[in-house]
Amino acid sequence: MAPRFLYLIRHGQYETANAPDDRGGGLTELGRLQAQHTAERLRWLEVRCIHHSSLRRASQTARILARSFPDVPLRPSRLLWETIPAIPPGYEAQFGDRVPEGAEEQAAQAFERYFKPAREPRLELIVAHGNLIRYFVCRVLGLPPEAWLRMEMHHCGISQVVVLPDGRAHLIAHNDTGHLPYAIQTLS
């Protein structure tokens, strides 16, 4: 087994109103600019694959990133859709009716699928959503899944994880926005 380096990237800013279907809104102009800056930041990496949520905002972000890696495959997945990975104590009323059945299982399945050692050293991008990325970071750090609500993720913020050959995962960086000029950093 070999290490797997994962760059977890939240999608860019997106339209929250008037989504044409269940895939949600697309990137705003600012969201496209955030994704372009992120592509520029990552372009020197030897990326082997770009996994991404098949929701519109993440798919569009992944396609912008892919311009820096023309021979790298894009792999959409419903497992990477936005979700409520766990309901923190005291938030039951806030989230109770908004949590689809199977949401916690989806997050756990996504973690099990992507956070495992590789056969040979690999570097992969995962373009997903803030809640899911925060859940991944909690799992890597050994925190309870409910702790996801206690951290933030900027649009196009980058978190880095290495999964070691023995399966242990280590957080290298969380919510890095150094590649984004301050004026274009957004949270929601």
Residue-level pLDDT at 96: 65
Q: Distances from the Cα of 149 to the Cαs of 43, 64, 67, 153, in angstroms?
A: 31, 28, 32, 10
Measured between alpha carbons, how far is 187 from 178 in angstroms, rounded to an integer? 14
What are the tens digits of pLDDT across the range 111-140?
999 999 999 999 999 999 999 999 999 999
Question: Six-digit token pair at 156?
Answer: 């196009």
Q: CB within 8 A of 188, min separation 6: which ones?
A: none
Measured between alpha carbons, how far is 11 from 27 in angstroms, rounded to an integer? 8
What's the predicted TM-score (pTM) here?
0.95
Q: Give phi and psi for 99, each to the nearest 5.
A: -95, 110
For residue 99, pLDDT over 70 is answered with: no
Q: CB within 8 A of 182, min separation 6: which ones?
A: none
Q: Where do we find the tokens 């800013």?
A: 13
For residue 148, pLDDT over 80 is answered with: yes
Nearest-CA neighbor of 107 among 75, 162, 73, 148?
148
| Over residues 143-156, mean pLDDT | 94
